Amino acid sequence: MATKVMNLRMTQTKQSLIKAFFNLVSKKDFEKITIADITKGAQVNRATFYTHFNDKYDLLDYILGDSASASVVKRTSGVVKFDQDSINQLVLAVCDFYQQPNIQCRSSYVGLVLPQLKEKILNELKIYLSKSLEHIYTDNEKNMYVPIFAQVIHEGALQWATENITMNEEEVAKRVALLVVGGSQSSEGTLRSLGER
């Protein structure tokens, strides 16, 4: 029972630190936010902050990773499979991820946050795809296809999020899913025919 209470308290403290950070990002540049600012907003001491995070970069990294994971789980309902609907949902998850109000912070964060955003969501896509392709491809094939499919899914959603294309997100998702799943099926046939030679 004591462990459960301790875990709940740790989770609540972590959430307070995250909330304090988000309150600050709308008012200050990231470089100007101090640990003292964050702990004051969360109403905790510095030692408590360092119990959870190494520094403000670690806090930001945690937030982005958690958001990426939550976007994928929300859209896929935690079901891991490789089909057109699942890939469609992954594209929409990436669109959701880039549209979250928590992620859309001051323009001064773009150079700092955008590479981290991409890294976090690509990592989540690779985890999902690796699991979904487990029984479809050999390890060698999977190691080749997972990063390619993740990049295609990410790029399609990013094109929509940055308004480089005029299609709505559902149309983008449908087309990317067709490309990934259709490309996967044709490459399976190519691999089989190469193996038969």
Q: How far apart are CA 70 and CA 81, in angstroms?
A: 17
> Residue 185: pLDDT band by 50, 70, 90 thresholds?
low
Sequence letter at residue 173 = A
CA-wise closest residue to 146 among 164, 169, 123, 119: 123
Average pLDDT of the chain? 85
DSSP 82: -
Using a pLDDT cut of 70, give the percent of the chain over it.
81
197 SS3 class: coil
98 SS3 class: helix
CA 86 to chain centre: 16
Taking only the tens place, the pLDDT of each residue in 21-40 is: 988 887 888 888 999 999 99
Domain ranges for the chain: 1-53, 57-196
Asked whether the beta carbons of 72 and 125 are under 8 A apart, the reply is yes
Lowest mean pLDDT among 22-26, 117-121, 135-139, 154-158: 22-26
Rounded mean pLDDT, 16-25: 89
DSSP 167: S
Give the dihedral of Cα atoms 9, 96, 154, 170; nearest 10 deg.
150
Asked whether the beta carbons of 123 and 43 are under 8 A apart, the reply is no
Asked whether the beta carbons of 94 and 172 are under 8 A apart, the reply is no
Lowest mean pLDDT among 112-116, 131-135, 173-177: 112-116
Taking only the tens place, the pLDDT of each residue in 40-93 is: 999 999 999 999 999 998 998 898 888 899 999 999 998 999 999 999 999 999
68 SS3 class: helix
For the 1-53 domain, the top CATH level (class) is mainly alpha
Rounded mean pLDDT, 111-116: 73
Asked whether the beta carbons of 63 and 120 are under 8 A apart, the reply is no
